[in-house]
């Protein structure tokens, strides 16, 4: 039987120790299926229900290759709502090795943009945000995505339901072609197929049931 211990993955000792400290001993099914693919740098479409551990799956994959010394945005996570973006940022901060001083910034609408521009001037390794506000920052020039390695579309089905297809497309247009694109979704409607066919490179596809 294949082991589902995190230690079977090519992760740094610091990451494994941190996962252990968080009480994450075994991978959830979606983590066990998606992490080997993501850690190879491949594009991925992952479908799993709420509560199955998708955040830690893409979180571990995007944090592992970060360069702490480069303060440009290396990973961008797009989420449908501010509440979800806050939850994702919270989980990423738990997963980030504290010693590396990884800066994780949330950029969502509903609050004034000025303080966000100020925070961006100090640099951030990872940005978690909603498509509309990310688009605004790109238009103003307060955010640049030319150093981006990893793009995550979290709850992609919900973002499409909310009419974010064009915003997502415009944001992707400002990222390097050689990025890794990771798409997480609970369901797999037609819009997701269009999104992946247009913006992903030979995506691997995995699907898992809920943890609980």
Q: Is 51 in the site for ligand ADP (CB under 6 A)?
A: yes
Name which of residues 25 to 54 contact Mg ion (CB under 5 A).
54
Rg of the chain over all Cα atoms, to the nearest angstrom: 16
Shortest Å, Cβ 84 to Mg ion: 7
**Site pattern 54..73 for Mg ion (x: CB under 5 A):** x-------------------
Q: Which is nearer to Mg ion, 37 or 56 (CB)?
A: 56
| Distance in Å, CB of 33 to ligand ADP, minimum | 13
Both tokens assigned to 170: 């415009």
Size of the site for ligand ADP (CB under 6 A): 13
Tell whether residue 149 is a contact of ligand ADP (CB under 6 A): no
CB of 54 to Mg ion, least distance (A): 5
Tokens of 40: 């190879």
Q: Identify what 65 binds: ligand ADP, Mg ion, none; CB under 5 to 8 Å per kind.
A: none
Beta bridge partners of 26: 5
54 binds ligand ADP (CB under 6 A): yes
Q: How far is the CB of 136 from ligand ADP (least distance, A)?
A: 26
The nearest distance, CB 165 to ligand ADP, in angstroms, is 21
Helix 131-140 to helix 165-172 angle (10° resolution) is 40
Class of residue 159 by CB neighbours under 10 A (exposed 0-12, middle 13-18, buried 19+): buried
**DSSP annotation of 59:** H
Q: Which two tokens stand for residue 42?
A: 């491949």
d(CA 133, CA 117): 11
Q: Which is nearer to ligand ADP, 50 or 198 (CB)?
A: 50
Secondary structure letter of residue 10 according to DSSP: -
Closest CB to Mg ion among residues 54, 179: 54
Helix (H) or strand (E) holding 84: helix 82-95
Q: Tell me the β-bridge partners of 207.
A: 47
Asked if residue 50 binds ligand ADP (CB under 6 A), the reply is yes
Q: Which of 34, 47, 52, 185 binds ligand ADP (CB under 6 A)?
A: 52
**Cβ contact 81:68 at 8 Å:** no
Distance CA 132, CA 169 (A): 12
Q: Which residues are at the interface with ligand ADP (CB under 6 A)?
A: 24, 26-28, 31, 48, 50-56
Q: Which residues are at the interface with Mg ion (CB under 5 A)?
A: 54
């Amino acid at each position: 039987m294949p082991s589902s211990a995190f230690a079977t993955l090519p992760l740094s000792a610091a990451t494994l120790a941190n996962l252990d400290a968080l009480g994450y001993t075994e991978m959830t099914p979606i983590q066990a299926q998606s992490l080997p693919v993501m850690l190879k740098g491949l594009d991925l479409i992952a479908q799993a229900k709420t509560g199955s551990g998708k955040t830690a799956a893409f979180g571990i994959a995007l944090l592992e290759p970060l360069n702490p010394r480069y303060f440009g945005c290396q990973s961008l996570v797009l989420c449908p709502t501010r509440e979800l973006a806050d939850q994702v940022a919270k989980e990423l901060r738990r997963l980030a090795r504290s010693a590396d001083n990884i800066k994780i910034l949330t950029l969502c609408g509903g609050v004034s943009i000025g303080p966000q521009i100020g925070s961006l001037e100090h640099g951030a390794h990872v940005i978690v945000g909603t498509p509309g506000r990310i688009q605004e920052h790109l238009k103003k020039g307060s955010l640049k995505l030319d150093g981006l390695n990893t793009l995550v579309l979290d709850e992609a089905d919900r973002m499409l339901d909310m009419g974010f297809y064009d915003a997502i497309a415009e944001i992707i247009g400002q990222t390097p072609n050689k990025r890794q694109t990771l798409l997480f979704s609970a369901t797999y409607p037609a819009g997701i197929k269009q999104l992946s066919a247009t913006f992903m490179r030979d995506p691997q596809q995995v699907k898992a049931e809920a943890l609980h």
